[in-house]
Amino acid sequence: MTSFGLKVLKVLCVVLLIVSMPVAAQGVIVPGDFNGDKMVSEDELADSIMAYLKAKYLGENVDHLELDELRGVAHIHVCYPRMIVDSANRNVTIYKPIKRIIVLNRNTLETMRSLNLEKERIVGVSKDVVARGKFFPEFKDCPNVGSAWSPDIEKILELKPDAVFLYATHFETSCEEVQRKLEGAGITVVRFDCFKPENYAEEVKKLGYILEKEEADNFVEFYEGCLNSIKERVDRIPEDERPRIYFEGFGRPYETGGKGTVLHQIVEMAGGSNVFSELSGYKDVDPEEVIYRNPEIIVKQAYKRGEYGYNMDNTTELKDIRDEILSRSELEEVSAVENKKVYIIIKEITGVKHFIALAYMAKWFYPELFNDLDPKVTHQRYLTEFQGLEFDLDEHGVFVYPEASEKMKL
């Protein structure tokens, strides 16, 4: 056969393999990579194809890949490597389809589920995923590799993951140490937060790209639609007409969030004016400062270990938290307390589900402007359509107190 004819045969074989490839074609660990550069060149692909043809059609006794493996090689040749900058500002290169995944950041796991990622690709999760059986029922028997900040490295290596997903800016020091150990063992590490509004949509798109999940576009459309339906209205409200908001964190009384925190961001996105907007990060503030700044609305983030909303049906604890704020003698003349405009929101929906928290706050801040907005409807659609959960919010779950649709109990 002439050199020209051989080249034509190579091209035809590649085309046939790509056309016949399944959408989610998977390969072994960089099959067809003969020179060790983690990539499949045109020549390497051609060599694999020719070995297959010689063995199958010419009866030659040569080492060769099977047809499914060849399809994987063709897929890698065409589609890889894939490069991103993750949320820790690291250049990450993915050389092959990510088939075995360990996730130490449950926000990222939840986001992967929004992209309809096949659960079989998850081979290990953090202990807080296992502890949330109501929300992550399909992972109750998945190998538990420990905490996000101090996982069992040996167990992770035994599971032979293609990639491990860590937090980017949460538990930052610990995650950097975990990253160092894993990369030292040849494991690919990707770091996303998946809870910050300023880059969540971008993280979703990058996840979709490296996991080959086109569903990312659909989820981003839903997510941005939730945000924009609120933004379009609050953008028309002058700054001096926005309610003054004091958002207290769950850690202790008078801990609040300034610039760079999710608490600050969702207050501003919901059309409120954070009374401590000049601060940066999470800070303890003097009660006298809260009194002086006289917030019109107080939102308190609630958290109790072992309780995360989906396994709660009783509002008693959230009511008690609200009552405690209303009973603080030092706040009795603050406008929010005088007018009983104190709201409790569970920490679970101020992270990756911040768009749901945003809907509740917009409703609290502007009940007439958002009289047609039902945060529970948004929440239910998210659970059913994107999380694949058979969970009825009319029957179970407690996330805020009082509900946005309820009249305030004086």
Q: What is the mean pLDDT of the chain?
A: 91
> What percentage of the chain reaches a pLDDT higher than 90?
82
Give the Cα separation of 358 and 144 in Å (integer). 32
148-180 pLDDT, tens digit each: 999 999 999 999 999 999 999 999 999 999 999
Any domain includes 219: no
Task: For residue 254, give Cα distances in angstroms to 268, 280, 300.
Answer: 19, 15, 10
Q: Which of 43, 61, 79 is the last residue of a domain?
A: 79
Q: pLDDT confidence of 345, banded at 50, 70, 90?
A: very high
32-47 pLDDT, tens digit each: 888 888 899 999 999 8
Specify whether 325 is located in the same domain as 362: yes
Say yes or no to pLDDT of 13 above 60. no
Any domain includes 279: yes
353-387 pLDDT, tens digit each: 999 999 999 999 999 999 999 999 999 999 999 99
Q: Which of 53, 79, 105 is the last residue of a domain?
A: 79
The CATH number linked to 167 is 3.40.50.1980
Say yes or no to pLDDT of 12 above 90. no
Residue 246 main-chain phi, psi, to 5 deg: -110, 115
Residue 101 main-chain phi, psi, to 5 deg: -125, 135
Q: Which of 79, 110, 142 is the last residue of a domain?
A: 79
Examine residue 402 and say whether the peptide bond preceding it is cis (omega within 30 degrees of 0): yes
pLDDT at 409: 36
Specify whether 300 is located in the same domain as 365: yes
Specify whether 285 is located in the same domain as 378: yes
Q: For the whole model, what pTM was predicted?
A: 0.89
Q: 3-class secondary structure for 149-163? A: CCECHHHHHHCCCCE
Any domain includes 218: no
In 3-state terms, what secondary structure has residue 31? Answer: coil
Any domain includes 105: yes
Specify whether 176 is located in the same domain as 74: no
In 3-state terms, what secondary structure has residue 118? Answer: coil
What's the count of helices (H) and strands (E) in the chain, helices before strands? 15, 13
Mean pLDDT of 82-90: 98
Specify whether 380 is located in the same domain as 353: yes
Any domain includes 408: no
The residue range of the domain holding 9 is 3-79
pLDDT at 62: 86
Mean pLDDT of 3-25: 41
Any domain includes 221: no
Specify whether 158 is located in the same domain as 275: no
Any domain includes 220: no
Specify whether 182 is located in the same domain as 320: no
pLDDT at 306: 86
Count structural domains, the chain: 3
Specify whether 289 is located in the same domain as 316: yes
Specify whether 131 is located in the same domain as 203: yes
Cα 312–Cα 313–Cα 317 angle in degrees, nearest 5: 70
pLDDT at 304: 86
Q: Residue-wise over 155-170: b if at least 16 C-beta within 10 A, else e?
A: ebeeeebbbbbbbbeb
Residue indicated by tokens 């080492």: 63
Any domain includes 129: yes
Specify whether 309 is located in the same domain as 260: yes
pLDDT at 2: 55
Specify whether 294 is located in the same domain as 366: yes
Specify whether 320 is located in the same domain as 261: yes
